[in-house]
Amino acid sequence: MAQKRDILDDIIDIQDNWQAVQNPLAGIADSLAQDPSQRKVFDPADYKEKPWCNSSRCLRCSAEREDVCSVCLDVCPTHSIDIHNKSVTITDSCRKCGLCQAACPTEVFNTRRHMAKQLYDNIARAASAYEQCYVTCTRALKRLPKPNEILLPCVGMISRDLWFSILVDYTNVSVYLPLGICDRCRTTTGEDFYTEAIGTAEEWAKSAVGLEVDKDNLTHEFTREYRRSQFVSSAIHATENLVTRSSPKLAGAQAVAKKITDHANRLNELQRQLENAVGAKTTQNRQRILTQNRKLMMGGLQHDLTPTSARPAATAQRPASPMQSTWTITATCTLWRRTA
């Protein structure tokens, strides 16, 4: 339901329009003035990283049995993973797609910038400040990402558990992939992997990830709440006495940062409660591992169990995405396919 405008919205519009009238060529002048050597150019390699392996977490290695798990070997499009002598290694043929990272149940594979919690935080930041957040890949976007675009080597780098926790918390996250883009991709297992991950997460969360296929439809507008709190924040700085500084919730950026910190605190508390309940070690004196993905998912489940009346208004009623019809479920209810 559209929110009712008030005088604050009118003032923000007037301020925006006034700035545009005052300096109509600001954007062009800025880009011309920029030192060309300092201008950032799009390089897909900047968004890719070969994972390193923590073999001690591998189920196959610790059980010393091949039938225990082969998920990473099955998903790797280039057969770059070797598991021998209790050690997991990645060869130089790795495409840096990140699928092994999303698939491994014990998070054997790690990268500096694409760990599950970092991905969640990046998406949460964009989804909290912008009308729409887009998750996409380097082949689809082919340019530097805007702040509400999460650019990944492959959309399959987001695991099923991570999609679930995103869906529980945010209703404005879409995948941007032009039609047919995955058909020509050398990450041949990526499309199957992300359709299954998204489909299962949608089924669990009873909510939908949007799908955008046309680059002209990508929007980069701030949310009304964000613009209002930014405006009030700058008013506080300008006048120092309109509202007291003890209202950090009013500042847009601060509010988003606080939301993410609160989320991290909730997850840490959840881990502490679990360790209290079941102990940090197993009966064989092994350290219990709560992976980032599982922690995020449990946080999402905890959130979903919160009574509707106690949740913030934005998530109390989760409407089905307008793009929901573009993901359809097969007869087995396990594998979803994109049909648009």
78 lines the binding site for ligand SF4 (CB under 6 A)? yes
Give dist(CA 300, CA 277) in Å, integer.
19
The helix/strand/coil state of 155 is helix
Rounded to the nearest 10°, the torsion over CA 288, 290, 291, 294 is 140
Residue of the chain from 8, 9, 44, 71 that contacts ligand SF4 (CB under 6 A): 71
Minimum distance of ligand SF4 from residue 77's CB (angstroms): 6
119 lines the binding site for ligand SF4 (CB under 6 A)? no
98 lines the binding site for ligand SF4 (CB under 6 A)? yes
Name the segment binding ligand SF4 (CB under 6 A); options: 54-62, 274-282, 308-316, 324-332: 54-62
Q: Exposure of 238 by Cβ count < 10 A (0-12 exposed, 13-18 middle, 19+ buried)?
A: exposed
Cβ-contact 173, 123 below 8 angstroms: yes
User: Which residue bears the tokens 């307008």?
Assistant: 322
185 lines the binding site for ligand SF4 (CB under 6 A)? no
58 lines the binding site for ligand SF4 (CB under 6 A)? yes
Residue of the chain from 12, 47, 96, 209 that contacts ligand SF4 (CB under 6 A): 96
Nearer to ligand SF4, 80 or 128 (CB): 80
Contacts with ligand SF4 by CB under 6 A: the residue count is 28
94 lines the binding site for ligand SF4 (CB under 6 A)? yes
Alpha-carbon distances of 309 from 250, 263, 304, 316, rounded to whole Å: 22, 19, 12, 7
88 lines the binding site for ligand SF4 (CB under 6 A)? yes
Name the segment binding ligand SF4 (CB under 6 A); options: 74-82, 192-200, 286-294, 313-321: 74-82
Q: What is the DSSP code (8-state) at residue 334?
A: S
Give dist(CA 117, CA 31) in Å, integer.
34
Q: Residue numbers of the site for ligand SF4 (CB under 6 A)?
A: 51, 58-60, 69-72, 75-78, 80-81, 83, 88, 90, 94-100, 104-106, 108
